[in-house]
Amino acid sequence: MYCRNCGNEVSEKAIMCVACGTPPLAGNRYCPNCKAETSPDAGICIRCGVGLINTSNHSEFDWLTTLLLCLFLGTFGIHRFYTKSIGIGIVQLLTLGGCGLWTLIDFIMIVVGNFRDGNGKVVVNKQRA
Ligand SMILES: [Zn+2]
Ligand SMILES: [Zn+2]
């Protein structure tokens, strides 16, 4: 397969691309199957049709940390600050998590794996994924 970041050919089991030093599936520029260039948010490769669902849309923030912060400090928006959603964090801080309701919704989103960080990436439970 090919490194999704630089297009270099890497082994199926490689955890890191020798050419660019990132995990082969962490990039979003090349198809891992046919090396065609892909758009960053493409779901499938337009040349070979292979699915491009990978870790590139997964947040680098830790799922469990986000969950615990939301559970214990969510009314202050701390989980939002942690995941770099600073603007929303400030609003939640000022409104005490939308009187707790917003925090509850965020908590559910985190649990079901639908919570997005400030970069629009999904915070996922990597142990389970
Ligand atoms: Zn690479
Ligand atoms: Zn392809």
For the chain (129 residues), the mean pLDDT of every run of 10, in chain order, is 94 91 88 92 87 74 97 97 97 95 97 93 76
pLDDT of residue 125: 86
Distance 56 CA to ligand 1 centre (A): 13
pLDDT of residue 54: 60
Are 40 and 71 in a shared domain? Answer: no
pLDDT of residue 128: 52
Q: How many domains would you assign to the chain?
A: 2
Question: Which structural domain, as residue segments, surrounds residue 66?
Answer: 58-129
Distance 76 CA to ligand 2 centre (A): 44
- φ/ψ of 107, rounded to 5, equals -60, -45
What digits encode the pLDDT tens for the residues 30-62? 999 999 999 887 888 999 998 886 656 788 899
CB atoms closer than 10 angstroms to residue 104: 15
Are 72 and 119 in a shared domain? Answer: yes
30 alpha carbon, closest ligand:
2
CB 103 within 8 A of CB 75: yes
Are 51 and 63 in a shared domain? Answer: no
pLDDT of residue 129: 46
pLDDT of residue 44: 86
Are 116 and 62 in a shared domain? Answer: yes
Predicted model pTM: 0.59
Distance 56 CA to ligand 2 centre (A): 16
pLDDT of residue 60: 87
